[in-house]
A and B are shown apart, each in its own frame.
Chain A
Amino acid sequence: MAVHARVLVKPKAGILDPQGQAVQRALPALGFTGVRNVHVGRLIELDVEDPSRLPEMCERLLTNPLIEDYEIVETGSAEDDGSA
């Protein structure tokens, strides 16, 4: 039974994140004050039969560990899409 997982990817702490800064600067213009530490990353969703291999997938392809941190969130069984 496949597992549904989400991989959250964000710029590594300490690396300049101009995208996050731009968003942070834009929010007050809309009246949203008191917002700090904005970072923009990427969400990868996937169904995997063997979730124990997720870290290796992250290290080798899904992220570049030199510049990105990631977090793996398993969200339960994959929904049957009827194709099996």
Chain B
Amino acid sequence: MKFGVIRFPGSCDEVDALCASQRAGEAVILWHSDRDLQGVDAVIVPGGFSYGDYLRAGAIARFAPVMEEVAEFARAGGIVLGICNGFQVLCEAGLLPGALLPNTSLKFVFRQVDLEVVRTDTRFTRACGDRHRLSIPVKHTTGRFYAPDAQLRKLEADGRVLLRYAPGHNPNGSLRDIAGVCNEAGNVFGLMPHPEHAVDPLTGSTDGLLLFQSIRDQIADRVAV
């Protein structure tokens, strides 16, 4: 299977995302102004500061030519993972619900956090098995997940909150400790923590790899049937 990792001007985590993906399958970089997704099985919108985050984080990147293709790919059921700035881009593009606001502390946070895996039966978390707690780093200034109350209740009721900050680990004031949500169809997922930075024992945790392996397993199943 093949992952495609988008590179925008201002992306900074695309190489880590590429390397992490390569531990689960093949992976290529997709350039923001190309409309060709190169036949990838899954798209990763990585972290960074796409287009300088001018206006609002993710606001300009959503109009990149490649994002039109990503939107089409998502509508057709393709798997899309947005990490940090990628999460912001997908929210701005309307592919994911809610928005990311400045951290309550107004400070940049960079630390390892514990996450609760709310569901292990999804395309993005299935490899977690009985692992219900993951240790993955966050690093952002604009990561406070917000959605209007009615929408929040619906997200919870529909089981679309896949990851939550463990008690005492919410780094940004996200409502209901939400760290990651998926779209209604379950094929687009965004999270603020960085699983691509937690794939090698050298940096303390390999829990992030479980997300990439989940996607690989999902694609493998789909190809097999």
Contacts and interface: CB of A to CB of B under 8 A. Distances in A.
A18 B106 contact: yes
Contacts of A77: none
B99 A66 contact: yes
B101 A15 contact: yes
Nearest to A61: B59
Nearest to B56: A64
Contact of B102 (A18, A61, A64): A18
A64 B59 contact: yes
Interface string A39-77: 000000000000000000000011010110000000000
A15 B144 CA distance: 11
A15 B99 CA distance: 12
Q: Which of B56, B98, B103, B104 has the most CB of A within 10 A?
A: B56
Given A15-B146, A22-B106, A61-B59, A67 B99 contact: yes
At the interface, is chain B mostly helix, strand, loop or mixed?
loop
A6 B106 CA distance: 27
A14 to B, nearest CB: 9
B109 to A, nearest CB: 13
B105 interface: yes
A61 B148 contact: no
B186 interface: no
Interface residues of B, number: 18
A22 to B, nearest CB: 6
A68 to B, nearest CB: 8
B103 to A, nearest CB: 8
B92 A64 contact: yes
Contacts of A13: none
Contact of B173 (A16, A22, A62): A16
Given A61-B55, A66-B148, A19 B106 contact: yes
Nearest to B147: A66
B98 A66 contact: yes
Interface in B132-191: 144, 146-148, 173
Q: Which of B101, B104, B148 has the most CB of A within 10 A?
A: B101
B55 to A, nearest CB: 7
